[in-house]
Amino acid sequence: MKKLCLIIFVTCLQSVTQAQTATALKDSSKYFADQIVDSKIPVLVDFWAPWCGPCKMLTPILNELEKNYHGKVLFLRINIDIHQRIASYFNISSIPAIIIIDHAAVSKVLMGYRPKPDYISALDSVIAVTSSTPPAAPTTPQDLQKKK
């Protein structure tokens, strides 16, 4: 259903006038931010761009994982050309970039194209932790890198 809403949103976004475009894009960034923060299940955020070859290679893998993890993980795709502020917040410097967020805290960061088992392992580890521990305090990607 969320995918359908996003498709409808994108279709509506394409039909707005130039004067409304900036406002509509700002609103869609808020939509993504709200989805990430308010989710009761882990969120896999795929930062991508239409011109990115590795992103195109990753799409079928993520589509399959989205089906396999339906109801356990929310999948969001964020086009960095459109949503630059969100990409900047997460310090996305190369794509594809996958960030897995659980209870508004960054749990895993996977940069670049990786084999499918890497994504499965990351998702499974986050789901295992989610089911056994209470929510953590919100963190940013910078906080996660400091812990390494």
Banded pLDDT at 4 (limits 50, 70, 90): very low
What per-residue confidence (pLDDT) applies to 139?
A: 58
Banded pLDDT at 31 (limits 50, 70, 90): confident
What per-residue confidence (pLDDT) applies to 26?
A: 47
The average pLDDT across 127-133 equals 76
Rounded to whole angstroms, the Cα distance separating 40 from 31 reads 16
Give me the phi and psi of 36, to 5 degrees please.
-65, -50
Buried b (16+ CB within 10 A) or exposed e, 105-116: ebbbbbeebbee
Alpha carbon 31 to chain centroid, angstroms: 12
- Give every CB contact of residue 48 below 8 A, 6+ residues apart in sequence: 55, 58, 59, 77, 78, 79, 80, 95, 96
Neighbours of 118 (CB within 10 A): 14
The average pLDDT across 75-94 equals 92
Q: What length does the chain have?
A: 148
* pLDDT at residue 130 tops 80: no
Q: Enumerate the active-site residues.
A: 52, 55
Q: Is the pTM of this model over 0.75?
A: no
What per-residue confidence (pLDDT) applies to 145?
A: 54
Banded pLDDT at 132 (limits 50, 70, 90): low
Tell me the per-residue pLDDT of 49-79, one tens digit each, with 9 for 90 and over: 999 999 999 999 999 999 999 999 999 999 9
**β-pairing, 43-48 with 97-102?**
antiparallel
